Amino acid sequence: MASTKTEVAHDFHPWFRVYKDGHVERFLGHPFVPPSEDSQTAAVRSKDVTVSTTASARLFLPKAAAPREKLPIVIYIHGGAFSMESAFSSLYHNYLNSLVDECRVIAASVEYRLAPEHPLPACYDDCYAVMKWVAQHDGGRPPGSETGPDPWLNDHADLGKVYLAGDSAGANLAHNMVVRANGDGLMKISGLVLIHPFFGNEQPTKLWEFICSDSGGVNDPRLNPGAHPGLLSKLGCEKVLILTASKDFIRERGRSYCEALKASGWRGAVETVETEGEEHVFHLFKPTSEKAKAMMRCLVSFINPTNAPSA
């Protein structure tokens, strides 16, 4: 008789497999790397902070930032089908280093609980906990009187220039964080960056149904916001950048999100940029390619145009 340690209960290859004894096997992912706060050579410093009992973040700061120099802040949410990867993995650590260096921003890369061990909405709640933590750092207070728990954010975060960004499932999370923050009046969001966003497709999504404890089906507003123009019209940010790739298996929902946003009555500015001949999140795996560099230039122009190279 087969052991429950080897009997498969649910198979969601290439993401993960759940065995009958409850343990989860993941097929993709990168090793964790430590932050580099004390590096003498890196252009970007980083450190880890605990936000709540379930959420944490890795902060990134340009090493050349002048004392108390205010910078735009990017709250970045990693992808991985809600079930893989980490803000602490080499893949995302390296990408955030590049993003912070190129854009000249301070960034908080969100570490959230993963499904299936922690079904949705756990990841949404963790991301929002980080947003609330960031919002405590009131950049408008006189020097020395800040109330936020982290000195980097007290000294350098311009809370008048807050950007949410994410790739794949992280883009889904980023969109939903902007919606939730607007509804709660948490903070002003300057812009939203959706990189190869995961908003499902026209067919029932088995993975979503399995990992989401309170799923509303294929048109759940968290999964398919384009089906809810009333919510899109209240998107609480000034501008949106949607990045797609021509060979991405989920690109159509990114495009339809853009069209739904335009038609919703939302008064912000939305831009879509598609990379020809590339697949889903190619920029993470080929960061030095010319197309990945072009994508980074788009991000710099959108988030911090004063740091964009002159034509």
User: Could you list the active site residues?
Assistant: 168
For the CA atoms of 286, 79, 264, 243, the dihedral, rounded to the nearest 10 degrees, stands at 0
CA distance 310 to 283: 23
Query: In the sheet that 24-26 helps form, which strands lie side by side, from edge to edge?
Result: 8-12, 16-19, 24-26
- Of the candidates 103, 92, 6, 7, which has an alpha carbon nearest to the alpha carbon of residue 48? 92
- Of the candidates 63, 192, 54, which has an alpha carbon nearest to the alpha carbon of residue 110? 54
At residue 41, what are phi and psi to the nearest 5 degrees? -120, -25
Question: Hey, what amino acid is at 264?
Answer: S
Residue 72 pairs with which residues in a beta bridge?
158
Please state whether beta strands 16-19 and 24-26 pair in parallel, antiparallel, or not at all (unpaired).
Answer: antiparallel
